[in-house]
Amino acid sequence: ISGKYLVVGEGLHFTNNARVFCLDIEQSEKKQVGVKLWSYATRSHVESSPCIANDKVYVGAGADGFYCFALQPDKNGNAQVLWHLDGKDYPDCESSPIAYEGRVYFCLGIDGQAIVCVDENTGKEIWKIKTPYPVFGSPSISNNKLFVGMGYGDIVNDVETLARNLQLKLAKEGKSQEEIRQAIKHLKPVGEIWCIDIKTHTVLWKFSVGDTVLGAVVVDGDYLYFGCRDRHVYCITTEGKLVKKWDAKSPITNSVAVGTKNVYVVTESGHIFGLEKKSLSPVWDVALNSRVISSPAVARGHLYVGTADKGLLCVGQPGGEVKKQIWSGYLGGPGKSGWTDGSLLPMRGEYAWSYSDSSLIHTPPVYLKGAFYIGVNNGESFGLAKLKYDEKTNSIPTIEWFVKSKNQLFISPAAKEDTVFFVDGIIGDKNRALHCVDQKTGKELWKYDVSTGSGEFVISDDKLFITDTSDGLTCLDIGIKDQKREIWKVNTGTLTGVPAFTKDILIAVAGLPQKVVVLDINTGITLWKRPISCKATTGPLFIKGMIWIGDVEGIKSYDILNGDVCYSIKCGRVTMPLVVNNSNIIACVNADKEIILIDAEVGKEIDHISEQRVEGDFPPMLMDSMVLYIAKESIISYDLKSRKSEQWAKIRSSWPGNILTPMIMVNSHIFFATDKEGFICMRPKIK
C-alpha cells in the first residue's frame, strides 16, 4: 500500500497466468467495491508481496522472473511494464523485494538460490550472491547491512516431505536406488541467517539454525528477531551473536512482528504468543484454532493476522493500565453470553472430561483467573465450590475449597480477583443471604440478608447491586473485601431481570405498572422514569445511548435522555435475557424458540434462526461471527456470515445428560453442567 494505491498478486504455486492488480483504495471505500486501476497477467504465480517505491511497483512472478511496473496506468488504463527480468535467469522470487537508495533487492528460491541487487530504474544487475539453499525469506536492510534467512523447505512442505516427494518422483521415473540417494542426500533440516554488506556485497557473517527461515528477519535497534521452522523464536545481535531463543512448540513459517515492548509470533498450528523482547518470556497467548501461514501485523494496540479457516482476525486492544478481571454475574454480566475471553469457536467440539461428585449443578459456571465457581447441590450439603483449572493442559479441575450454605444455589455467582459472591435459596426459603468469601481461601468475610427479595445481583469493580427486598434495590460497597457497607437503598418496585449500569448511571425495569428507571449510580437518586406501554420480559441493555428491553411483543429501544421509543422490532414474546456482541448485534429468543438477531445501531432485524430451535431456557452464546446454542440432542453453531447452521456437538439425554446450565467458553473450550455427568468440558475436535 502506498497512498491511495494497493497492489497485490494472485495465484498458487502451480498457476501459470496469475495477475498483478492495482486498486484505488479511496474510490473502493467510497463505492464499497474494489475499483481496479490496472492489472497484468504474468506467465506464472505471484506469491511475492509487491514493493512500492518512487512511483514504481516491484514484484516477483515465480518462474516468470521479476517485474517493475509504473504505479500509474497508461492513458488507456493498462499496466505499464518498465522492465522485466526473465525467469530463466532469475527464477522463483517468492519473497518480498525491498527498494533502497536507488537499488532493488530480492531473493530467489528453487533453481535460483541467490540474493540479487539490481538498479531500480533499469533492472540491470549490480551484484548477485549464490546461496547453498533456496531463499524464501524476505530481506531486511539496516545500516547498509542486508539480513535474510534461508534453508530447505517451504511454507507447505518441511524438508522431510520434500525429500519423500522427490524420492517417489525419481522412483516413478525409474531411477536407481543409488541415484535417488545421491539426489536427496542434501535435503536435511538446515537453515541460516546471512548478513551482507550491500556496498561491497560481501557476506559478513552467517548464523546457523535448526531448519529453514521463511519469514523476514526483523531489525530492532541492535537486535534481530525471526521465527524458524525448528519451532523456535530467535533473538540475535546485528553482529550474529545469539541472545535468546524460545520454544514455541510448533513450526513458525512466517515473519514475527516487533512492538515497543513485545515480539509477536503466530505458529503454524494457530497460536499467537506475545513475548517480552529482552527475555522472550511469554506475556500472553491466544489460541486461534486455525492453521496460519500469514505473518502478523501490529498497529494501534491490535494484532492482525490471516488464517486458513477464520479469515482475517484482529486480536488485542490498546495497551494501558491492566484492568482487573471481574465476572459481573449471569454469564459475565448484563448483555454477556458466556463468551468473555474472546477466544475462537472451533469447527467442532467433542467431550473432554466431566467433574462430578453426584451433585446437581444449577448455577451458571463462573470463570476467573484459572478457577471455576459453581453452586453444588447434593441433597444434603449445599454451597459454592472453587475448582482449580489449568487452561494449558485442560486436565480435570481439582476442588480448592467448598463453602456451605443453608439453602441450594440457583442464582449465578459473581467474582472479583480477591472476592467471590453468591446467594443461596429462592423466595420462600428461610435464612437466605448474600455471601462474600475470600477468593483464595473460601473464608466467609461477611453476609447480607436477602430473605424477601429475589436475590438477583450484579457487580462492578467496587459496587454490588442486589434485589434484596420484594420491591427494591440496594447498592453495597465492595471496594474493600472484608467490609460491607450499604451505599443506598431504593424502593423501585419489583424488578424485571437484573439492572444494567455504566460508570455513572444504573438502569432498571421495575414496578407495576412497569417503568424504565434511571438512577444515579453513586447516590441512588432517580434521574428519570418512564412507563412502558408493553409488558417487559427482560432486564435492560444499554448500547450507544439507547436502552433495549425485551417484551411480550418483541424488543424495543428507548432514548436514554427522555425514554422515548426509538426502535420497535416485533418478533414475538422474548423469553430469555438479551445478549449482545462486540459489533452491537443483539440476540433474543422468542416464545417459538427462534433466535432473532438485531443490529442495535440501525434498529433492524438482520437474521432469524429457526431451522433448529433453541432447547431449554438458556440464551445463545453470541460471538462476533458465530452463534452457539443448545438445541434438541445437540449443540448448534451458526455462522453469521454464511448463515449456515451445523451440529457442533451431539448431546444426548441418555449421555452425557440433560443440560442444566447455560454454556460459557474458556480458551476455545465449552463448559456447562448436565444431570448425569455434572460439570462438563467440550474441547476442540481434531479432524
Confidence of residue 319 (pLDDT cuts 50, 70, 90): very low
Q: Please tell me which residue, 562 or 344, carries the higher pLDDT value.
A: 344
The CATH number of the domain where 301 resides is what? 2.130.10.10
User: Quick one: 637 and 516 in the same domain?
Assistant: yes
- The CATH number linked to 85 is 2.40.128.630
Q: Does 382 lie in the same domain as 343?
A: yes
State the first-to-last Cα distance of the chain, in angstroms, to the nearest integer: 37
* Three-class DSSP labels, 128-145: EEECCCCCCCCCEEECCE
The mean per-residue pLDDT over the stretch 325-337 comes to 97
Q: Tell me whether residue 568 is in a domain.
A: yes
Cα(211)–Cα(160) distance, integer angstroms? 11
Give strand ranges (E) for 175-311.
191-197, 202-209, 218-220, 223-227, 232-237, 242-247, 257-258, 262-266, 271-276, 282-287, 297-299, 302-306
Q: Are residues 295 and 424 in the same domain?
A: no
Q: Could you tell me if 369 and 240 lie in one domain? A: no
Q: What is the pLDDT of residues 246-255, one digit of tens each?
A: 999 889 999 9
Q: DSSP letter at 168?
A: H
Note whether 27 and 137 are same-domain residues: no
Domain enclosing residue 530, as ranges: 326-684
Least confident of 126-130, 510-514, 646-650: 510-514
Clarify whether residues 292 and 197 are in a common domain: yes
317 vs 409, which has greater pLDDT? 409
Confidence at residue 687, expressed as pLDDT on a 0 to 100 scale: 60
* Half-sphere exposure of residue 457: CA atoms within 13 angstroms, side-chain side: 33
Q: Is residue 162 part of a domain?
A: no
Q: In what order do the strands lie in the sheet with 463-469?
A: 457-459, 463-469, 472-477, 485-490
What is the rounded distance in angstroms from the CA atom of residue 568 to the CA atom of residue 534?
11
pLDDT tens-digit readout, 104-163? 999 999 989 999 999 999 999 999 999 999 999 999 999 999 999 999 998 888 898 888
Whether 503 and 563 map to the same domain: the answer is yes
State the residue for C-alpha cell 442444566: 660
28 and 42 Cβ atoms separated by less than 8 Å: no
Q: Is 410 contained in some domain?
A: yes
Whether residue 181 lies inside any domain: the answer is no
pLDDT at 276: 94
CA torsion through residues 346, 348, 352, 355, sign: positive
288 and 348 within one domain: no
How large is the average pLDDT for residues 397-401? 95
Same domain? For 358 and 315 the reply is no
pLDDT value at residue 320: 44
Question: What proportion of the chain, given as a percentage, has pLDDT over 90?
Answer: 82
Whether 160 is covered by a domain: the verdict is no
Phi, psi of 260 (to 5 degrees): -65, -40
Q: What's the mean pLDDT in 589-608?
A: 95
Q: Are residues 200 and 119 in the same domain?
A: no
Domain end residue (candidates: 69, 102, 123): 123
Q: What is the 3-state secondary structure (H, E, C) of 22-54?
A: EEEHHHHHHHCCCCEEEEEECCCCCCCCCEEEC
Instruction: Give the strand order in the sheet containing 114-119.
Output: 98-100, 103-108, 114-119, 125-130
Contact 472, 489 (CB under 8 A): yes
Q: Is the pTM of this model over 0.85?
A: no
Domain boundary among 297, 322, 347: 322
Write the pLDDT tens digit of every residue in 535-553: 999 999 999 889 999 999 9
Question: Do residues 138 and 249 share a domain?
Answer: yes
Domain count of the fold of the chain: 3
Give a yes or no: residue 171 inside a domain: no
One domain, residues 376 and 256? no
Dihedral angle computed from the Cα positions of residues 423, 427, 432 and 437, in that order, rounded to the nearest 10 degrees:
0
158 within a domain of the structure (yes/no)? no
- Residue 293: band (very low, low, confident or very high) from pLDDT cuts 50, 70, 90: confident
Residue 168 lies in a domain: no
Q: Which of 267, 287, 322 is the last residue of a domain?
A: 322
